[in-house]
Amino acid sequence: MLKTVIPFGPQHPVLPEPIHLTLTVEDEIITEAFPALGYIHRGLEKLVEIRDVHQMIQVVERVCGICSMIHAMCYCQGIEDIMGVEVPPRAEFLRVIWSEIHRMHSHLLWLGLFADSFGFESLFMQFWKIREKILDIDEATTGNRIIVSVNDIGGVRRDMNSEQLQWMRVELAEVETELKELGKTLLGDYTVKKRTVGKGVITKTQAYELGLAGPTLRASGVAQDMRMLGYAAFNQLAFEPVVETEGDCYSRSKIRFRELLQSIDLIRQAVAKIPPGEIKAKVRGRPDGETVSRVEQPRGELLYYIKANGTKNLDRLRIRTPTFANIPALLSMLPGMWLSDVPVIVLSIDPCISCTER
């Protein structure tokens, strides 16, 4: 049969950020997919040569807007590890709360975009409507909707009073009710299942061998979540990773939906257990040594390799984001699928190209 090569992206209605795929198709079945990057590489890691250890917090927050808080937390945890800084318990709980808020608005953003990828516009609109409430919580507690700038080396910059914490619980209860209602459509609707079940399947073995991360990994049956490391205050909360076994687009959306409810539960636990006290430890001196810091971003495992040399500038900052780990999976997910499935499958890994290229 005649082979046709079709360019997909970098500009495509379904892609929030630019990535290019060269798709080889026979009839309308994909036989080969080849990704190309490089449209938004900024070289942010190199800024360590001119920005000092503290200024780099603002830089890493801008690696990705959607999970800015978690990038900064990962970076600060790395520097704190090198310098032996003990973060106050209250700050650890606040980090958990804000990181779960960020996970929620990222997953809600994705669920909307995912619904859009198969043409379910009203579902897209409803998820984004709920997301506004989460962004309101961000704004009320940090002063900003997306780039919240709450992390600092040694703790956090802002505190939450008890009224704010209780108000947040009430808001999240409303969000939970609305989500459960919407979940019936996302997980039970015939159209959604028709477009997602059995699409872009990755087996458990493939997922492990390809080094996948986050919901993409857990949807294939691997129970790995960096929150199991117990960083920040996660070691004081009841936590089990959300796992599905089918490894298809439907499983990946189910994981993210269930993680939304899990985040609400984690925030409730954190609000109930948050201790009084300081929110930031005093930090003296300059870091010297190397470390690897890992946290769970909405898209999966985020890794920072930090090498310091005792001066105000780091020797090296290397950021491995989850989308970078998940892109090789597209080479296995796409062959054998219909051309019309490409937007859904590409979206199912929740690609963040700003993160990937940095």
Partner 1 sequence: MLKDIFPVSIDTVVGETAKIKVDGYRFVTISCTARDENTLEILYHFDKELRLKHLRLTVLKDTAVPSISAVYFAAFLVENEIQDLFGIHFEGLAIDYDRTLYLDEEVTFAPFCKYTVMKSLNEVDPSTPESGAMGKSKEL
Q: Which of 3, 41, 54, 273 binds partner 1 (CB under 8 A)?
A: 41
Looking at 5, 125, 173, 229, which residue binds partner 1 (CB under 8 A)? 229
Q: How far is the CB of 142 from partner 1 (least distance, A)?
A: 30
Instruction: Using the minimum distance from each CB to partner 1, give the nearer residue, 244 or 301.
Output: 301
Q: SS3 for 305?
A: strand
Q: Which of 26, 28, 38, 173 touches partner 1 by CB under 8 A?
A: 38
Nearer to partner 1, 242 or 327 (CB): 327
Name which position in 3, 4, 27, 34 contacts partner 1 (CB under 8 A): 34
Residues paired with 295 in a beta bridge:
302
Interface residue with partner 1 among 5, 6, 125, 292 (CB under 8 A) is 292
Sheet of 20-26: strand order equals: 3-8, 20-26, 29-36
* Phi, psi for residue 3 in degrees, rounded to 5: -95, 140
The nearer residue to partner 1, 45 or 341, going by C-beta atoms, is 45
Residues 296-335 that bind partner 1 (CB under 8 A): 301, 303, 305, 307, 315-316, 318, 320, 324-325, 327-328
Q: CB-based contacts of 12: which residues, under 8 Å, 6+ apart?
A: 343
- The reply on whether position 208 binds partner 1 by CB under 8 A is yes
- Using the rule CB under 8 A, give the single segment among 67-75, 115-123, 223-231, 334-342 that binds partner 1: 223-231
Measured from the CB of residue 123, what is the shortest distance to partner 1 in angstroms? 32
| Rounded Cα–Cα distance for residues 208 and 196 (Å) | 22
- Residue of 261, 290, 338, 339 interacting with partner 1 (CB under 8 A): 290
Query: Which residues fall within 8 angstroms of residue 299, CB to CB, at 6 or more apart?
Result: 67, 106, 213, 214, 215, 216, 321, 322, 323, 326, 349, 350, 352, 355
The β-bridge partners of 309 are 288
With binding defined as CB under 8 A, does residue 239 bind partner 1?
Answer: no
Burial class (CB in 10 A: 0-12, 13-18, 19+), 325: buried
- Say whether residue 52 binds partner 1 (CB under 8 A): no
Least Å distance, CB 47 to partner 1, is 11
Distance between CA atoms of residues 295 and 192, nearest Å: 31
Helix (H, G, I), strand (E, B) or coil at 296: strand
37 makes contact with partner 1 (CB under 8 A): yes
**Which CB atom, from 179 or from 219, has the smaller least distance to partner 1?**
219
Do 303 and 91 contact (CB within 8 A), yes or no?
A: no
Cβ nearer to partner 1, comparing 48 with 337: 48
SS3 state at 80: helix
Tell me which residues in 246-275 interact with partner 1 (CB under 8 A): none
Selection from 104, 39, 52 nearest residue 308 by Cα: 52
The footprint of partner 1 (CB under 8 A) covers 34, 36-38, 41, 43, 45-46, 49, 81-82, 208-211, 224, 226, 228-229, 289-292, 294, 301, 303, 305, 307, 315-316, 318, 320, 324-325, 327-328, 357
